[in-house]
Structure 1
Protein backbone atom coordinates (compact mmCIF):
# COMPACT_ATOMS: atom_id res chain seq x y z
CA UNK A 1 0.00 0.00 0.00
CA UNK A 2 2.75 2.43 0.95
CA UNK A 3 4.51 1.89 -2.38
CA UNK A 4 1.41 2.58 -4.46
CA UNK A 5 0.41 5.61 -2.43
CA UNK A 6 3.97 6.90 -2.66
CA UNK A 7 3.68 6.85 -6.45
CA UNK A 8 0.17 8.28 -6.60
CA UNK A 9 0.39 11.32 -4.30
CA UNK A 10 2.67 14.37 -3.98
CA UNK A 11 5.40 14.42 -1.33
CA UNK A 12 3.68 17.14 0.70
CA UNK A 13 0.57 15.05 1.27
CA UNK A 14 1.95 13.86 4.65
CA UNK A 15 2.69 17.39 5.93
CA UNK A 16 -0.62 17.92 7.78
CA UNK A 17 0.36 18.05 11.49
CA UNK A 18 -3.18 17.30 12.66
CA UNK A 19 -3.35 14.12 10.58
CA UNK A 20 -0.04 13.02 12.09
CA UNK A 21 -1.67 12.96 15.54
CA UNK A 22 -3.94 10.10 14.53
CA UNK A 23 -2.52 8.22 11.54
CA UNK A 24 -0.43 5.75 13.57
CA UNK A 25 -3.45 4.69 15.61
CA UNK A 26 -5.59 4.48 12.47
CA UNK A 27 -3.12 1.99 11.02
CA UNK A 28 -3.09 0.06 14.28
CA UNK A 29 -6.86 -0.03 14.81
CA UNK A 30 -8.25 -0.51 11.30
CA UNK A 31 -6.00 -2.68 9.12
CA UNK A 32 -9.01 -4.94 8.44
CA UNK A 33 -10.50 -2.10 6.39
CA UNK A 34 -7.54 -1.85 4.01
CA UNK A 35 -8.14 -3.15 0.50
CA UNK A 36 -5.56 -4.45 -1.96
CA UNK A 37 -6.56 -5.68 -5.40
CA UNK A 38 -4.13 -7.94 -7.23
CA UNK A 39 -3.75 -8.84 -10.88
CA UNK A 40 -4.15 -12.36 -12.24
CA UNK A 41 -0.39 -12.73 -11.79
CA UNK A 42 -0.65 -11.75 -8.14
CA UNK A 43 0.88 -8.28 -8.50
CA UNK A 44 -0.63 -5.27 -6.66
CA UNK A 45 -3.14 -3.57 -8.93
CA UNK A 46 -4.81 -1.05 -6.64
CA UNK A 47 -5.18 -0.21 -2.98
CA UNK A 48 -7.50 1.80 -0.78
CA UNK A 49 -8.34 2.39 2.85
CA UNK A 50 -10.97 3.90 5.08
CA UNK A 51 -12.11 4.35 8.66
CA UNK A 52 -15.33 3.81 10.62
CA UNK A 53 -17.11 6.71 12.30
CA UNK A 54 -20.47 7.48 13.88
CA UNK A 55 -22.38 10.08 11.83
CA UNK A 56 -25.93 11.41 12.17
CA UNK A 57 -26.48 11.49 8.43
CA UNK A 58 -26.84 15.28 8.42
CA UNK A 59 -24.59 17.29 6.11
CA UNK A 60 -24.11 19.85 8.89
CA UNK A 61 -22.53 17.14 11.03
CA UNK A 62 -19.90 16.08 8.50
CA UNK A 63 -16.30 16.27 9.76
CA UNK A 64 -14.74 19.59 8.81
CA UNK A 65 -11.34 18.19 7.85
CA UNK A 66 -9.50 14.99 7.03
CA UNK A 67 -7.94 15.09 10.49
CA UNK A 68 -11.42 15.33 12.02
CA UNK A 69 -12.41 12.13 10.21
CA UNK A 70 -9.43 10.28 11.67
CA UNK A 71 -10.02 11.78 15.12
CA UNK A 72 -13.64 10.62 15.16
CA UNK A 73 -12.58 7.13 14.09
CA UNK A 74 -9.82 6.87 16.71
CA UNK A 75 -11.84 8.36 19.55
CA UNK A 76 -14.84 6.23 18.66
CA UNK A 77 -12.74 3.08 18.70
CA UNK A 78 -11.14 3.96 22.02
CA UNK A 79 -14.48 4.78 23.65
CA UNK A 80 -16.25 1.70 22.28
CA UNK A 81 -18.73 3.67 20.15
CA UNK A 82 -20.42 1.59 17.46
CA UNK A 83 -19.69 3.12 14.04
CA UNK A 84 -22.38 3.32 11.37
CA UNK A 85 -20.48 5.06 8.58
CA UNK A 86 -17.50 3.95 6.52
CA UNK A 87 -15.38 6.82 5.21
CA UNK A 88 -13.23 6.02 2.18
CA UNK A 89 -10.03 7.94 2.88
CA UNK A 90 -7.92 7.11 -0.14
CA UNK A 91 -7.50 4.97 -3.20
CA UNK A 92 -4.86 4.60 -5.88
CA UNK A 93 -4.45 2.42 -8.97
CA UNK A 94 -1.14 1.14 -10.30
CA UNK A 95 -0.04 3.54 -13.09
CA UNK A 96 0.04 0.74 -15.66
CA UNK A 97 -3.62 -0.10 -14.99
CA UNK A 98 -5.25 3.30 -15.22
CA UNK A 99 -8.14 3.33 -17.66
CA UNK A 100 -8.71 -0.43 -17.38
CA UNK A 101 -11.68 -0.37 -14.98
CA UNK A 102 -9.47 -1.16 -12.00
CA UNK A 103 -10.45 2.10 -10.26
CA UNK A 104 -14.13 1.17 -10.50
CA UNK A 105 -13.37 -2.27 -9.10
CA UNK A 106 -11.46 -0.69 -6.22
CA UNK A 107 -14.29 1.71 -5.41
CA UNK A 108 -16.80 -1.13 -5.49
CA UNK A 109 -14.62 -3.19 -3.15
CA UNK A 110 -14.31 -0.29 -0.71
CA UNK A 111 -18.07 0.32 -0.62
CA UNK A 112 -18.70 -3.40 -0.12
CA UNK A 113 -16.09 -3.48 2.66
CA UNK A 114 -18.03 -0.89 4.62
CA UNK A 115 -21.24 -2.86 4.23
CA UNK A 116 -19.51 -6.10 5.12
CA UNK A 117 -18.41 -4.54 8.40
CA UNK A 118 -21.98 -3.57 9.31
CA UNK A 119 -21.83 0.10 8.34
CA UNK A 120 -24.97 1.30 6.59
CA UNK A 121 -23.51 4.55 5.25
CA UNK A 122 -20.51 5.08 2.98
CA UNK A 123 -18.87 8.47 2.40
CA UNK A 124 -15.81 9.66 0.51
CA UNK A 125 -14.00 13.00 0.89
CA UNK A 126 -12.60 13.09 -2.64
CA UNK A 127 -9.27 14.58 -3.59
CA UNK A 128 -10.17 15.60 -7.17
CA UNK A 129 -7.51 14.34 -9.53
CA UNK A 130 -7.43 17.29 -11.97
CA UNK A 131 -7.87 20.17 -9.55
CA UNK A 132 -4.10 20.71 -9.53
CA UNK A 133 -4.39 21.91 -13.13
CA UNK A 134 -6.64 24.75 -11.91
CA UNK A 135 -5.16 25.90 -8.59
CA UNK A 136 -6.63 29.42 -8.86
CA UNK A 137 -10.20 28.16 -9.32
CA UNK A 138 -12.29 27.71 -6.15
CA UNK A 139 -13.38 24.19 -5.24
CA UNK A 140 -17.01 25.39 -5.46
CA UNK A 141 -16.57 26.37 -9.09
CA UNK A 142 -14.43 23.38 -9.99
CA UNK A 143 -16.88 20.86 -8.50
CA UNK A 144 -19.70 22.38 -10.57
CA UNK A 145 -17.98 21.83 -13.91
CA UNK A 146 -19.73 19.27 -16.11
CA UNK A 147 -18.94 17.62 -19.42
CA UNK A 148 -21.33 17.72 -22.37
CA UNK A 149 -22.84 14.42 -21.19
CA UNK A 150 -23.78 15.96 -17.83
CA UNK A 151 -21.17 14.04 -15.83
CA UNK A 152 -18.55 15.78 -13.65
CA UNK A 153 -15.47 17.17 -15.36
CA UNK A 154 -13.11 15.67 -12.78
CA UNK A 155 -12.29 11.99 -13.57
CA UNK A 156 -12.24 10.74 -9.96
CA UNK A 157 -15.48 12.53 -9.11
CA UNK A 158 -17.01 11.27 -12.36
CA UNK A 159 -16.10 7.67 -11.46
CA UNK A 160 -17.81 8.02 -8.08
CA UNK A 161 -20.94 9.52 -9.63
CA UNK A 162 -21.09 6.74 -12.21
CA UNK A 163 -20.88 4.26 -9.33
CA UNK A 164 -23.94 5.81 -7.70
CA UNK A 165 -22.35 8.47 -5.51
CA UNK A 166 -23.68 12.00 -5.18
CA UNK A 167 -22.02 15.20 -4.06
CA UNK A 168 -23.41 16.35 -0.71
CA UNK A 169 -20.93 19.01 0.42
CA UNK A 170 -17.57 20.63 -0.13
CA UNK A 171 -14.62 20.73 2.24
CA UNK A 172 -12.59 23.83 1.26
CA UNK A 173 -10.07 23.27 4.07
CA UNK A 174 -9.82 19.48 4.16
CA UNK A 175 -6.10 19.48 4.92
CA UNK A 176 -3.59 22.12 5.94
CA UNK A 177 0.01 21.23 5.14
CA UNK A 178 2.81 23.22 6.76
CA UNK A 179 6.60 23.11 6.59
CA UNK A 180 9.74 25.20 6.46
CA UNK A 181 10.67 27.09 3.31
CA UNK A 182 13.43 24.56 2.65
CA UNK A 183 10.99 21.67 3.03
CA UNK A 184 8.57 23.28 0.58
CA UNK A 185 11.36 23.94 -1.90
CA UNK A 186 12.15 20.21 -1.82
CA UNK A 187 8.49 19.18 -2.11
CA UNK A 188 7.65 21.71 -4.84
CA UNK A 189 10.94 21.45 -6.73
CA UNK A 190 11.26 25.22 -7.12
CA UNK A 191 12.98 28.08 -5.32
CA UNK A 192 10.76 30.08 -2.96
CA UNK A 193 12.87 33.21 -2.39
CA UNK A 194 10.32 35.64 -0.95
CA UNK A 195 7.07 36.00 0.93
CA UNK A 196 4.08 35.51 -1.33
CA UNK A 197 1.76 33.04 -3.03
CA UNK A 198 3.10 30.36 -5.35
CA UNK A 199 1.56 27.89 -7.77
CA UNK A 200 3.27 24.56 -7.15
CA UNK A 201 3.36 21.22 -8.93
CA UNK A 202 0.39 19.02 -7.92
CA UNK A 203 -1.02 21.79 -5.72
CA UNK A 204 -4.80 22.21 -5.81
CA UNK A 205 -4.50 25.69 -4.37
CA UNK A 206 -1.67 28.17 -3.90
CA UNK A 207 1.19 27.80 -1.43
CA UNK A 208 1.58 30.76 0.92
CA UNK A 209 5.14 31.45 1.99
CA UNK A 210 6.13 33.65 4.95
CA UNK A 211 9.87 34.04 4.47
CA UNK A 212 10.41 35.92 7.74
CA UNK A 213 8.72 33.17 9.76
CA UNK A 214 10.32 30.44 7.62
CA UNK A 215 7.02 28.69 7.07
CA UNK A 216 4.87 27.68 4.15
CA UNK A 217 1.17 26.84 4.35
CA UNK A 218 -0.93 25.06 1.76
CA UNK A 219 -4.65 24.33 2.22
CA UNK A 220 -6.18 21.56 0.14
CA UNK A 221 -9.90 21.11 -0.65
CA UNK A 222 -11.97 17.92 -0.90
CA UNK A 223 -15.43 17.08 -2.23
CA UNK A 224 -17.80 15.06 -0.05
CA UNK A 225 -19.58 12.24 -1.91
CA UNK A 226 -22.14 9.90 -0.36
CA UNK A 227 -22.61 6.39 -1.72
CA UNK A 228 -25.02 4.90 0.82
Structure 2
Protein backbone atom coordinates (compact mmCIF):
# COMPACT_ATOMS: atom_id res chain seq x y z
CA UNK A 1 0.00 0.00 0.00
CA UNK A 2 1.11 3.55 -0.77
CA UNK A 3 -0.35 6.88 0.36
CA UNK A 4 -0.20 9.79 -2.07
CA UNK A 5 -1.99 13.13 -2.33
CA UNK A 6 -4.39 13.80 -5.15
CA UNK A 7 -2.22 16.77 -6.11
CA UNK A 8 0.70 14.37 -6.58
CA UNK A 9 -1.33 12.07 -8.84
CA UNK A 10 -3.91 14.06 -10.82
CA UNK A 11 -3.94 11.19 -13.32
CA UNK A 12 -5.92 9.19 -10.74
CA UNK A 13 -8.73 11.74 -10.35
CA UNK A 14 -11.29 9.63 -12.20
CA UNK A 15 -10.50 6.54 -10.13
CA UNK A 16 -10.70 8.56 -6.94
CA UNK A 17 -14.03 10.07 -7.98
CA UNK A 18 -15.53 6.60 -8.42
CA UNK A 19 -14.40 5.54 -4.94
CA UNK A 20 -15.73 8.71 -3.35
CA UNK A 21 -19.13 8.67 -5.04
CA UNK A 22 -20.13 5.03 -4.89
CA UNK A 23 -21.38 5.02 -1.29
CA UNK A 24 -22.83 8.52 -1.00
CA UNK A 25 -26.43 9.43 -1.86
CA UNK A 26 -26.83 11.78 -4.80
CA UNK A 27 -28.40 14.57 -2.75
CA UNK A 28 -25.21 14.96 -0.69
CA UNK A 29 -23.48 16.39 -3.75
CA UNK A 30 -25.93 19.30 -3.95
CA UNK A 31 -24.88 21.17 -0.80
CA UNK A 32 -24.23 24.81 -1.79
CA UNK A 33 -21.33 25.38 0.64
CA UNK A 34 -18.87 23.00 -1.07
CA UNK A 35 -19.82 24.55 -4.41
CA UNK A 36 -18.52 27.88 -3.10
CA UNK A 37 -15.52 26.66 -1.10
CA UNK A 38 -14.26 23.32 -2.41
CA UNK A 39 -12.00 24.79 -5.11
CA UNK A 40 -10.20 26.81 -2.43
CA UNK A 41 -10.02 23.77 -0.14
CA UNK A 42 -8.25 21.90 -2.95
CA UNK A 43 -5.94 24.86 -3.55
CA UNK A 44 -5.06 25.58 0.08
CA UNK A 45 -5.12 22.14 1.70
CA UNK A 46 -3.93 19.62 -0.90
CA UNK A 47 -1.61 18.10 1.72
CA UNK A 48 -4.71 16.80 3.51
CA UNK A 49 -6.32 15.16 0.47
CA UNK A 50 -4.91 11.65 0.23
CA UNK A 51 -5.44 8.38 -1.61
CA UNK A 52 -4.41 4.84 -0.72
CA UNK A 53 -3.07 2.83 -3.66
CA UNK A 54 -2.81 -0.94 -3.81
CA UNK A 55 0.25 -2.83 -5.06
CA UNK A 56 -0.92 -2.33 -8.66
CA UNK A 57 -1.26 1.42 -8.19
CA UNK A 58 -5.08 1.47 -8.18
CA UNK A 59 -7.04 3.74 -5.83
CA UNK A 60 -8.68 1.65 -3.08
CA UNK A 61 -9.44 4.34 -0.49
CA UNK A 62 -9.08 8.02 0.20
CA UNK A 63 -9.96 10.84 2.48
CA UNK A 64 -9.51 14.52 3.13
CA UNK A 65 -9.61 17.07 5.88
CA UNK A 66 -9.22 20.77 6.58
CA UNK A 67 -7.08 22.62 9.16
CA UNK A 68 -8.87 25.25 11.22
CA UNK A 69 -8.59 27.22 14.43
CA UNK A 70 -10.49 25.64 17.33
CA UNK A 71 -10.15 26.40 21.04
CA UNK A 72 -10.63 22.79 22.16
CA UNK A 73 -13.93 23.64 23.85
CA UNK A 74 -17.04 21.78 22.77
CA UNK A 75 -19.09 24.96 22.75
CA UNK A 76 -16.70 26.45 20.18
CA UNK A 77 -17.03 23.64 17.64
CA UNK A 78 -18.19 24.55 14.13
CA UNK A 79 -21.86 23.83 13.52
CA UNK A 80 -20.84 20.92 11.33
CA UNK A 81 -19.35 19.91 8.00
CA UNK A 82 -20.31 23.07 6.12
CA UNK A 83 -19.15 25.41 8.87
CA UNK A 84 -15.83 23.57 9.28
CA UNK A 85 -15.12 24.10 5.59
CA UNK A 86 -16.03 27.79 5.79
CA UNK A 87 -13.93 28.37 8.91
CA UNK A 88 -10.93 26.58 7.40
CA UNK A 89 -10.96 28.53 4.13
CA UNK A 90 -11.78 31.92 5.60
CA UNK A 91 -9.33 31.39 8.44
CA UNK A 92 -6.57 30.57 5.97
CA UNK A 93 -7.36 33.65 3.91
CA UNK A 94 -7.32 35.80 7.06
CA UNK A 95 -3.97 34.37 8.15
CA UNK A 96 -5.37 32.73 11.29
CA UNK A 97 -3.04 29.93 12.45
CA UNK A 98 -4.86 26.57 12.55
CA UNK A 99 -4.78 24.39 15.65
CA UNK A 100 -6.96 21.50 14.52
CA UNK A 101 -7.49 19.07 11.68
CA UNK A 102 -11.09 18.19 10.92
CA UNK A 103 -11.60 15.01 8.94
CA UNK A 104 -14.22 15.78 6.31
CA UNK A 105 -14.67 12.51 4.45
CA UNK A 106 -13.18 9.06 4.06
CA UNK A 107 -14.17 6.39 1.57
CA UNK A 108 -13.16 2.82 0.79
CA UNK A 109 -13.89 1.01 -2.46
CA UNK A 110 -16.66 -1.53 -1.96
CA UNK A 111 -14.32 -4.15 -3.42
CA UNK A 112 -11.90 -3.63 -0.52
CA UNK A 113 -14.13 -3.72 2.55
CA UNK A 114 -13.07 -5.20 5.88
CA UNK A 115 -9.36 -4.55 5.33
CA UNK A 116 -8.91 -1.65 7.74
CA UNK A 117 -8.40 0.86 4.93
CA UNK A 118 -10.56 3.54 6.56
CA UNK A 119 -8.24 3.42 9.55
CA UNK A 120 -5.26 3.67 7.19
CA UNK A 121 -6.73 6.85 5.69
CA UNK A 122 -7.55 8.44 9.04
CA UNK A 123 -4.15 7.52 10.48
CA UNK A 124 -2.41 8.98 7.43
CA UNK A 125 -4.26 12.28 7.84
CA UNK A 126 -3.61 12.32 11.59
CA UNK A 127 0.11 11.82 11.03
CA UNK A 128 0.19 14.83 8.70
CA UNK A 129 -1.65 16.92 11.28
CA UNK A 130 0.89 15.98 13.96
CA UNK A 131 3.80 16.72 11.63
CA UNK A 132 2.32 20.18 11.05
CA UNK A 133 2.00 20.89 14.77
CA UNK A 134 -1.79 20.73 14.98
CA UNK A 135 -2.92 19.85 18.48
CA UNK A 136 -6.45 18.52 17.89
CA UNK A 137 -8.08 16.10 15.46
CA UNK A 138 -11.87 16.17 15.16
CA UNK A 139 -14.53 14.93 12.74
CA UNK A 140 -18.22 15.63 12.02
CA UNK A 141 -19.16 11.98 11.52
CA UNK A 142 -21.97 10.81 9.26
CA UNK A 143 -22.77 7.56 11.10
CA UNK A 144 -23.20 4.58 8.77
CA UNK A 145 -26.48 3.28 10.18
CA UNK A 146 -28.15 6.52 11.30
CA UNK A 147 -30.22 6.60 8.10
CA UNK A 148 -32.08 3.56 9.46
CA UNK A 149 -33.37 5.71 12.34
CA UNK A 150 -34.19 9.14 10.85
CA UNK A 151 -36.66 9.96 13.63
CA UNK A 152 -34.10 9.42 16.41
CA UNK A 153 -32.11 12.51 17.51
CA UNK A 154 -28.36 12.17 17.03
CA UNK A 155 -27.68 12.66 20.74
CA UNK A 156 -29.82 9.64 21.54
CA UNK A 157 -28.41 7.53 18.69
CA UNK A 158 -24.85 8.34 19.76
CA UNK A 159 -25.60 6.83 23.16
CA UNK A 160 -26.64 3.44 21.81
CA UNK A 161 -23.96 0.89 22.65
CA UNK A 162 -23.25 -2.80 22.32
CA UNK A 163 -22.38 -5.17 25.15
CA UNK A 164 -18.68 -4.26 24.75
CA UNK A 165 -19.43 -0.59 25.40
CA UNK A 166 -18.73 0.55 21.84
CA UNK A 167 -21.30 2.22 19.62
CA UNK A 168 -23.85 0.17 17.70
CA UNK A 169 -22.78 2.19 14.65
CA UNK A 170 -19.86 0.80 12.59
CA UNK A 171 -18.41 4.20 11.63
CA UNK A 172 -18.52 5.54 15.16
CA UNK A 173 -16.85 2.29 16.32
CA UNK A 174 -14.04 2.74 13.79
CA UNK A 175 -13.22 6.09 15.35
CA UNK A 176 -13.64 4.82 18.92
CA UNK A 177 -11.15 2.04 18.25
CA UNK A 178 -8.67 4.72 17.20
CA UNK A 179 -9.16 6.44 20.55
CA UNK A 180 -11.86 8.94 19.62
CA UNK A 181 -14.49 10.17 22.04
CA UNK A 182 -17.91 11.61 21.27
CA UNK A 183 -18.19 15.35 21.84
CA UNK A 184 -21.62 16.55 20.70
CA UNK A 185 -24.12 16.46 17.87
CA UNK A 186 -23.46 18.76 14.91
CA UNK A 187 -27.05 19.92 14.62
CA UNK A 188 -26.73 21.83 11.35
CA UNK A 189 -23.92 20.00 9.64
CA UNK A 190 -25.16 20.16 6.05
CA UNK A 191 -28.05 22.04 4.48
CA UNK A 192 -29.31 20.91 1.07
CA UNK A 193 -32.10 22.65 -0.78
CA UNK A 194 -33.65 22.21 -4.20
CA UNK A 195 -36.87 22.20 -6.16
CA UNK A 196 -39.34 19.36 -5.75
CA UNK A 197 -38.33 18.05 -9.17
CA UNK A 198 -34.66 18.11 -8.17
CA UNK A 199 -35.36 16.17 -4.99
CA UNK A 200 -37.42 13.65 -6.93
CA UNK A 201 -34.51 13.23 -9.34
CA UNK A 202 -31.88 12.94 -6.59
CA UNK A 203 -33.88 10.38 -4.60
CA UNK A 204 -35.89 8.57 -7.31
CA UNK A 205 -38.98 9.19 -5.18
CA UNK A 206 -42.27 11.00 -5.70
CA UNK A 207 -43.28 13.78 -3.29
CA UNK A 208 -46.97 14.35 -4.12
CA UNK A 209 -47.92 16.43 -1.07
CA UNK A 210 -46.31 18.88 1.33
CA UNK A 211 -44.77 17.19 4.35
CA UNK A 212 -41.75 15.51 5.93
CA UNK A 213 -40.41 12.41 4.18
CA UNK A 214 -38.17 9.49 5.08
CA UNK A 215 -35.63 9.35 2.24
CA UNK A 216 -33.17 6.49 1.66
CA UNK A 217 -29.70 7.31 3.05
CA UNK A 218 -30.90 10.54 4.68
CA UNK A 219 -30.08 10.76 8.38
CA UNK A 220 -33.00 13.10 9.04
CA UNK A 221 -36.34 13.85 7.42
CA UNK A 222 -36.57 15.83 4.19
CA UNK A 223 -39.19 18.59 4.17
CA UNK A 224 -41.08 19.12 0.94
CA UNK A 225 -43.18 22.23 0.33
CA UNK A 226 -45.24 21.83 -2.83
CA UNK A 227 -46.65 25.36 -2.58
CA UNK A 228 -43.22 27.02 -2.77
CA UNK A 229 -41.68 24.23 -4.88
CA UNK A 230 -38.86 23.67 -2.38
CA UNK A 231 -37.36 20.70 -0.65
CA UNK A 232 -35.01 21.22 2.28
CA UNK A 233 -32.84 18.88 4.28
CA UNK A 234 -30.82 19.76 7.37
CA UNK A 235 -28.47 16.92 8.30
CA UNK A 236 -27.33 16.34 11.86
CA UNK A 237 -23.89 14.76 12.23
CA UNK A 238 -21.79 13.85 15.27
CA UNK A 239 -18.61 15.56 16.44
CA UNK A 240 -15.88 13.29 17.78
CA UNK A 241 -12.33 14.09 18.92
CA UNK A 242 -9.38 11.79 18.48
CA UNK A 243 -6.89 11.34 21.29
2:83 alignment partner in structure 1: 68
How far apart, CA to CA, are the structure 2 residues paired with 1:74 and 1:129?
27
How far apart, CA to CA, are the structure 2 residues paired with 1:213 and 1:40?
53
1:15 positional shift: 2.0
Q: How many equivalent residue pairs? A: 228
> Among residues 219, 223, 226, which one is paired with 1:211 in the alignment?
226
Unaligned runs of 5+ in 1: none
Secondary structure of residue in 1 paired with 2:232: strand
Secondary structure of residue in 2 paired with 1:8: coil
Distance 1:172 1:46, change over 3 A: same
1:142 positional shift: 0.9
Q: Is the contact made by 2:52 and 2:62 (CA closer than 8 Å) also made in structure 1? A: yes
Secondary structure of residue in 1 paired with 2:22: helix
How far apart, CA to CA, are the structure 2 residues paired with 1:58 and 1:75?
20
How far apart, CA to CA, are the structure 2 residues paired with 1:219 and 1:146?
25
- 1:1-228 maps to which residues of 2 (within 5 A)? 1-228=16-243
Secondary structure of residue in 1 paired with 2:202: helix
1:62 positional shift: 0.5
Q: Is the contact made by 1:65 and 1:174 (CA closer than 8 Å) also made in structure 2? A: yes
2:4 alignment partner in structure 1: none
Q: Is the contact made by 1:22 and 1:67 (CA closer than 8 Å) also made in structure 2? A: no
How far apart, CA to CA, are the structure 1 residues paired with 2:28 and 2:222?
13
TM-score norm. by structure 2 comes to: 0.90
Secondary structure of residue in 2 paired with 1:22: helix
Misfit runs of 4+, over 4 Å: none
Structural RMSD (CA): 1.2
CA displacement, residues 146-191 of structure 1 (integer Å, 9 cap, x when unaligned): 0111110110000100010101111122111111101100111111
How far apart, CA to CA, are the structure 2 residues paired with 1:28 and 1:190?
37
Q: Is the contact made by 1:19 and 1:66 (CA closer than 8 Å) also made in structure 2? A: no
1:65 positional shift: 2.7
How far apart, CA to CA, are the structure 1 residues paired with 2:113 and 2:222?
29
Secondary structure of residue in 2 paired with 1:128: coil
How far apart, CA to CA, are the structure 1 residues paired with 2:90 and 2:205?
39
TM-score norm. by structure 1 comes to: 0.96
Q: Is the contact made by 2:80 and 2:140 (CA closer than 8 Å) also made in structure 1? A: no
Q: Is the contact made by 2:222 and 2:233 (CA closer than 8 Å) also made in structure 1? A: yes
